[in-house]
Chains A and B, each alone.
Chain A
Amino acid sequence: MAQMTMIQAITDAMRNELKNNEDVLVFGEDVGKNGGVFRATEGLQKEFGEDRVFDTPLAESGIGGLAAGLSVTGFRPVMEIQFFGFVFETFDAIAAQMARMRYRSGGVYNSPVTIRSPFGGGVKTPELHADSLEGLMAQTPGVKVVIPSTPYDAKGLLISAIRDNDPVVYLEHMKLYRSFRGEVPEEEYTIPLGKADVKREGKDLTIVTYGAMVHTSLKAAEELAKEGIEAEVIDLMTVSPLDIETIIASVEKTNRAIVVQEAQKQAGIAANVVAEINERAILSLEAPVLRVTAPDTVFPFASAEDTWLPSYKNVVEKAKEVINF
């Protein structure tokens, strides 16, 4: 099996789908000759031609409109938003257009668009490059929101996203692009959307998380294990819709849970997970479900990033609070 970084796995998934289906088109700012600013589309234009993998004018709303229009004429666009902080420019195209295409047409049209975009902190970008805006998307009926944390997951989830017949927002944490390699089969495979993955089994506490915080949480779980606390780490992989079954099964086993997200605390995914646990498993709980998140400021200037982002130590502390409740 090949060893790949997450970004290589992402490129591999797009290559697979460009080969697999002629209606798949990959486009965005700098995705052509340049292969994307992170090289996610490296080599794809050369391999599949300018007709299938192409640059767009620098206008995110236009890119979204182009994708929506192509989708109703039977194409399967994979559009890139260069950094997810730029999504505001194309929020209408995603939330008010693609996400409503099936509904607005009473089921006649659909928008099988994949919206790929790098996001997430820890890489010292300028403003609005690193923000965790998945909560905004998760509150948009009609779109799914997928966030992989490993190269293996990245490939299987992206292939599923591209094949999905409704719009999928696929967010790629920048810090994970090249931070490690993992085994990725060269042949195609899919990972179902809407399913979580138990990344570590444990009996004492459930840590529900996603994206880069999966790795932070796994590190915290190792620390906790040194003190005899066995944490189960659930990687949501799809943050909308949530895999309630996996979360609840785990909480019913461990009776304790925390939710870890890189995004700010207010509203968002973690709040939603807590609410679902309360509604479905409150009698299994030995302690309140607590959250580890960033504070409710805008994503910080680069020099304050390290202290703003949740660390594994924060996770360990919060886990102990719940264990010792």
Chain B
Amino acid sequence: MEKTKVIQDVESQFEMFQILNEEGEIVNEEAMPELSDEELKELMSRMVYTRIWDQRAISLNRQGRLGFYAPVAGQEASMLGSQFALEKQDWILPGYRDIPQIVYHGISLEQAFLWSRGHLKGGQMPEGVNVMMPQIIIGAQITQTAGVAMGLKRRSDNAVAITYTGDGGASQGDFYEGINFAGAYNVPAIFVVQNNRFAISVPVEKQSAAKTIAQKSVAAGIHGVQVDGMDILAVYAVTKEARERGLAGNGPTLIETMTYRYGPHTMAGDDPTRYRTSELDDEWEKKDPLVRFRKFLEGKNLWSEEDENKVVEQAKEDIKDAIKKADGAPKQKVTDLIDIMHEELPHNLKEQMEEYKEKESK
């Protein structure tokens, strides 16, 4: 397709923002966020922890001990860099892959595992942890984000709402409606599209004629940016800026993070070799977010093998504890589920409650 000058001009505005290149070198010094050495180490620690957690989760899933799981390896910088820019009072509306962000926002690993297992405690967000249940319907969280952000603005909570979807999610009508509503009402919302290049098997090139997803912000009249999703410093910087923009009353931001999932779409039988080449996998693994950030920190003498091993051991231990705790969760009963359908049970559920109480007592 030959694109008009208008489109070419728009697309040329959305060059990928990067701070740390694949070699772990700072290429954009003036954009370097103000982060203390401790904070830099914390970012690394979280990525290492999440990588181990992902490996353990895949293994637990294969043993039949976890339930539903959508692997995250490759997307650590995109997920954790953006979450690190948030404050406790901010709201996260995650998709089903976005479990690391909500764990670092305050839910326990045990709860994350219970959510994976399809236990009602998995969705019971603790008091003060502003997190929605991971969304299954692609894009439904995007329109809700406009609503949550409007609610936060009305309450003058000094908080923003952030939501995550993937490249496929940006094709949904709800994506356009959500970013458009957020713009029309000028609410403090951040829409993160983690472009990991494949919506299950469909490549991003088949989702749209648009060169970038970030440019879709133009149609909604909101700020948009494409960022290197394998560069945790860049993701952190653009999210922090988006947060400040929202709180200053300057509206929502669309962030497209360029990333890759190394694993399958989910552990429920997806085989990426059917739709991805090993060359492409190799190309992206060279961009790995942990490798480049480790190099960067090592260059500053902020990270050692000892640090790394400490995090790995901690992650393994935490996961072992969490799965043990999850194993101890009460057995799920139909009566518990009947009880959470409504504030007050309507007559039909009252009757069915009695019926299941009887069944469950046997």
List residues of chain A with CB under 8 Å of any chain B CB. Answer: 51, 56-57, 59, 61-62, 64-75, 92-93, 96-97, 102-110, 141-142, 144, 164-166, 194, 241-245
- Given the interface pairs A62-B180, A74-B155, A108-B125, the reply to whether A69 lies near B147 with Cβ below 8 Å is yes
B227 contacts partner chain A, Cβ-Cβ < 8 Å: no
B-side binding surface: helix, strand, loop or mixed? helix
Q: Contacting A106 at CB < 8 Å: which of B121, B132, B152, B174? A: B121
The verdict on B137 contacting chain A, using a C-beta distance below 8 Å, is yes
The listed residue (B122, B133, B146) touching A65 by CB distance below 8 A is B146
B123 within 8 A of A: yes
Please tell me if the beta carbons of A65 and B140 are within 8 angstroms of each other in the complex: yes
B125 adjacent to A105 (CB under 8 Å): yes
Shortest CB–CB separation between residue A244 and chain B, in angstroms?
Answer: 6
Name B residues whose Cβ lies closer than 8 Å to a Cβ of A. 91, 93, 120-125, 132-133, 137, 140, 142-152, 154-155, 161, 173-174, 177-178, 180-181, 184, 337, 339-343, 346-349
Closest residue to B145 on the A side, CB-wise?
A: A69
Chain B: which residue is nearest A67 at the CB level? B147
Residues in A whose Cβ lies below 8 Å from that of B177: 57, 59, 61-62, 65
The answer to whether A106 and B146 have CB atoms under 8 Å apart is no
Whether the pair B181, A56 counts as a contact (CB closer than 8 A) is yes
Residues of B within 8 A of A245 (CB): 347
Nearest CB in chain A to that of B143: its residue: A65
Q: Which of A71, A96, A244 sits near B140, CB closer than 8 Å?
A: A96
Known: A57-B181, A62-B177, A72-B151. 9 other contacts (CB 8 A): A65-B174, A70-B148, A92-B140, A93-B143, A103-B120, A106-B120, A106-B340, A107-B124, A164-B343
Asked if A102 and B343 make an inter-chain contact with CB atoms under 8 angstroms apart, the answer reads: yes
Closest to A167 in B: B342
The chain B residue with its CB closest to the CB of A97 is B140
CB–CB B140/A73 < 8 A: no
Q: Which residue of B lies closest to A165 (CB)?
A: B343
A65 CB contacts on chain B under 8 angstroms: 140, 142-147, 174, 177-178, 181
Chain B residues within an 8 Å CB radius of A107: 124, 339-340
Can you list 19 A-B pairs, Cβ within 8 angstroms, ordered by A?
A59-B173, A61-B143, A61-B177, A62-B177, A62-B180, A65-B140, A66-B150, A69-B93, A69-B143, A69-B144, A72-B144, A73-B147, A96-B140, A102-B343, A106-B121, A110-B343, A166-B343, A241-B349, A242-B348
Chain A residues positioned under 8 Å from B340 (CB to CB): 102-103, 106-107
Name B123's contact: one of A106, A166, A243 (CB within 8 Å): A106
- Residues of A within 8 Å of B346, CB to CB, are 144, 194, 241
Cβ-defined contact, A141 with B341, below 8 A: yes
CB-based contact B147/A68 at 8 Å: yes
Report yes or no: A102 in contact with B342, Cβ–Cβ below 8 A: yes
A105:B148 contact, CB within 8 angstroms: no
B137 touches A59 (CB 8 A): no
CB within 8 Å for A66 and B347 given contacts A57-B184, A106-B120: no
CB distance from A190 to the nearest CB of B (A): 14
Residues of B within 8 A of A75 (CB): 151, 154
Contact residues in A for B174 (Cβ distance below 8 Å): 61-62, 65, 92
Residues of A within 8 A of B150 (CB): 66, 69-70
A61, A70, A97, A107 interface centre (most CB from chain B within 10 Å): A61
CB distance from B340 to the nearest CB of A (A): 4
Instruction: Flag if B123 contacts A105 (CB, 8 Å).
Output: yes
- For the complex, give the distance between the alpha carbons of A73 and B343 in Å: 17
Partner of A102, one of B147, B341, B348: B341
In the bound complex, do residue A69 and residue B343 qualify as a contact, i.e. CB atoms below 8 Å apart?
Answer: no
A105–B181 Cα gap in the complex (Å)? 25
Interface centre among A96, A103, A110, A245 (most CB of B within 10 A): A103
Within the complex, which residue of B91, B146, B339 is in contact with A62, where a contact is CB–CB below 8 Å? B146
Task: From B125, B137, B140, B339, name the one whose CB has the most chain A CB atoms within 10 angstroms.
Answer: B140
Question: Would you call B343 and A62 a contact (CB within 8 A)?
Answer: no
Q: Which residue of B lies closest to A241 (CB)?
A: B346
Contacts of A62 in B (CB 8 A): 143, 146, 174, 177-178, 180-181
* Cβ distance A74 to chain B, nearest Cβ, rounded Å: 7
User: What's the Cα separation between A59 and B183 when bound, in Å?
Assistant: 14
B123: chain A residues within 8 A (beta carbon): 104-106, 108
Q: Which A residue sits closest to B181, measured CB to CB? A: A62
**With the chains together, A243 CA to B346 CA distance in Å?**
9
Contacts of B173 in A (CB 8 A): 59, 61
Q: Give CA–CA (A67, B144) in the complex, Å.
A: 7
How many angstroms from the CA of A64 to the CA of B125 in the assembled complex?
22
Chain B contacts of A67 at CB under 8 A? 147
Task: Name which residue of chain B comes closest to A99, CB basis.
Answer: B341
Bound together, the chains give a CA A105 to CA B339 distance in angstroms of 12
Roughly how many angstroms separate A242 CA and B143 CA in the complex, as a whole number? 32
Within the complex, the shortest CB–CB distance from B342 to chain A, in Å, comes to 5
A65 to B181 CA separation, bound complex (whole angstroms): 10
- Tell whether, in the assembled complex, residue B133 and residue A68 are in contact, meaning their CB atoms are under 8 Å apart: no
Contact B347 A70 (CB under 8 A): no
From B120, B152, B347, contact of A241 by CB (8 A): B347
CB contact between A64 and one of B124, B143, B337, B348 (< 8 Å): that residue: B143
**B161 CB → nearest A CB, Å:** 8
Closest beta carbon of chain A to B203's beta carbon, Å? 26
Contacting pair B146 A244 (CB below 8 A): no
Residue in B closest to A59 when the chains form the complex, CB atoms: B177
Q: How far is the CA of A142 from the CA of B173 in the complex (A)?
A: 25
Give the residue of A96, A109, A166 whose beta carbon is less than 8 angstroms from that of B137. Answer: A96
- Chain A residues with CB below 8 A from B120, complex form: 103, 106
Q: What residues on B are CB-neighbors of A97 within 8 Å?
A: 137, 140, 144
| Residues from chain B with Cβ under 8 Å of A68 in the complex | 143-144, 147
Name which residue of chain A comes closest to B146, CB basis.
Answer: A66
B140 adjacent to A69 (CB under 8 Å): no
Query: Min CB distance, B50 to chain A, in Å?
Result: 24
